[in-house]
Amino acid sequence: MINNLSKKISKADDDAKILIIETLEDNFTGGFDLDSIYEINGKYVVIEFLKCITVKPFKSHPNRYWFKNSKKFISLWKITKKLNGTLFLVNYEDSREQFSIIKVLKIDKSGVAKEERRDVNFETFKNWFQKLNSESLNS
C-alpha cells in the first residue's frame, strides 16, 4: 500500500532559511517562504503565520505592516487565487494566549480589503487547525 501522506512534523526545520540568509548575505530578498498549504477535496488552503511581537494578536492586523510586507501579501493572494484556494493569515504570539484567524476575501494594492476574522484562544485555534489538517488527510 502506498502512503500518500506527508511525514509527521516533529521539529522545526530551518536549514533552508539559514541557507537563503547565508547566500543572500545582507541583500533584500524578492521571495518569501510559504508556511502551510493544504489540499482539501480538490481545493487549496494557504496559511501564513504572522508572529506578533510588539502588538498583541487581537490588536494587530496585516494592514498595520503593509508598508513593510505588501509584496509578500499580494504574492500570497495571487498564489492563492491561481490555486483557486482560500488564504488564512494567522496572528499569533509566543505565549499562545491570543490567535487571530483572518480569512482573506480580498487584497488590493493598499491592503487586506475584505476579510472574515475570528479572535480566539489557543484551544479554539488548535481545534480549528487540527480539523483542517484532518480534512486534508481524509480528502
Residue type at 78 in one-letter notation: K
pLDDT of 113 strictly over 50: yes
**Side-by-side strand order, sheet with 111-120:** 36-40, 43-51, 86-92, 99-108, 111-120
* The model's pTM: 0.85
Give the domains, in start order, of the chain with CATH numbers: 33-137 (3.10.310)
Residue 1 pLDDT: 38
pLDDT digits (tens, 9 = 90+) for 4-28: 566 666 556 677 777 778 888 888 7
Residue 2 pLDDT: 44
* Share of residues in the chain with pLDDT > 90 (%): 67
Greater confidence, 30 or 112?
Answer: 112
